[in-house]
A = this chain, B = another copy of it.
Amino acid sequence: MKPEYSIGIDIGGTNTDIGLVNSVGECVASYRIRTGNYSDPEEYVNHLMDSVLLLLETNKIKSMTGIGIGVPNGNFYTGCIDNAVNLNFKGEIPLRNMIQKRIDCKVVVTNDANAAAYGEMVYGGARGMKDFIMITLGTGVGSGIVVNGKMVYGHDGYAGELGHTIIFPGGRMCKCGRQGCLERYTSAGGIKRTYIELMKKEYGDLFTLEKEDAVSSKQISDAAEAGDPIAKKVFDFTGYILGLSLANAAAITSPKAIFLMGGPVKAGNILLDPLKKSFEENVLFYYKDKIKILVSHLNENEAAILGAAALTNME
C-alpha cells in the first residue's frame, strides 16, 4: 500500500517551510526554520533534517512517499542548488545527496517557482490547464512555466528565470551581477527601492532612508491604500513593469493564464489594476482579453509546500 504522507519543503531566501502533506493534498503539520541564519550549507541541512525527523516523529509517521523540495535554483536534473543569488549558500550544493545521507527515501528537488506552479496545477486554479505561467514575487521574482501540461526545465534544468530577464539595460544592480533585471523592480526589495527613489526625488536630502530594510512593501501598499500619492505611484510603476514583462512572456509561450503569488501580491488591486492595464495595453492583439491574470488560489506557503510534496509522486 502506498504511504499516506509526504514531506514538502519550500526553501526561501528568508524562511524554510517544512510541511507534512497527506494523500489528499492537505498540509497537516508544518515547521519553519530561518534560512537566512545559515551560511554553512552542512549546518543548514542538519537543522533542516532534524526538523523533518521531528515532524515525522511527533506525528507518528512511520513511512512516507518521500521529500519534495522547492528551492531557488534547485535543479530537477542534478538535485543540486546551483549558485542561488538569493541564498547565502554559494556554488553548487548537492542538496539531494546531503539529505539522503540523513534519510533513506526518494528526494526530488526543483526550483521554488516550479514547485509553486506544480502546486497550482495539482491543487489550485491551474487544475485542468495545460499552458500557464506561475510568477512568485518575494525576495526574488521566480517563474514556473508549464507548456502542454509539462514543466519547462530546459536543456540543463535552469529554465523559467523571468525575474532575470533584463528590462532596463544599465538599470539597477542585481545580485546576479548584471543590471536592470525584472527582479530588481518587481520583487519586494524592488518595490522598496522604487519607493526610496521616488521619496528622494520628492524630498531630496530630507528623506534619509537608504536601505531597503528601512521600509516594508506592506507599509508601502498600506500607504497606497490610504491614498498616499507616492506609494500609489510605486505600485503603478511596479504594475506597469510587470504587466509589460508578462505581455512579452505571453508572446513566447501563449499561456491560458498567468498566476501570481507572494508578499507583494497581497497589495491586491493596488498592484493588480495597473498590472492588468499594462498587460492588456502591451500584449499582442491576438492575445488580448484571452489571457487571465489571476492570484494563486492556494495559500502562499502551502502552494510551494504542496507542489514540492506532489513532486514525490512523479515518475
Contact = CB atoms under 8 A, between A and B. Distances in A.
Contacts of A178: 282, 284-285
B148 A254 contact: no
A286 B83 contact: yes
Interface string A144-167: 010110101111111111101110
Given A161-B284, A166-B244, A244-B169, A156 B254 contact: yes
Interface stretch (A57-65, A228-236, A245-253, A268-276): A245-253
A131 interface: yes
A162 B83 contact: no
B130 A166 contact: no
Contact of A152 (B147, B285, B290): B147
Given A156-B290, A159-B253, A248 B176 contact: no
Complex copy number for this chain: 2
Interface in A5-21: none
Contacts of A129: 155
A304 to B, nearest CB: 21
A256 interface: yes
A177 B252 contact: no
Contacts of A160: 252, 254
Contacts of A286: 73, 82-83, 158
Given A156-B254, A177-B285, A256-B155, A248 B166 contact: yes
A114 to B, nearest CB: 12
B254 A155 contact: yes
Contacts of A161: 251-252, 254, 284
A287 interface: yes
Contact of A83 (B148, B154, B247, B285): B285
Given A147-B147, A148-B153, A156-B290, 5 more contacts: A83-B285, A129-B155, A131-B154, A152-B253, A154-B254
14 contacts: A73-B286, A129-B155, A145-B253, A148-B150, A155-B255, A158-B286, A158-B287, A162-B252, A165-B248, A166-B244, A166-B248, A169-B244, A169-B282, A178-B282
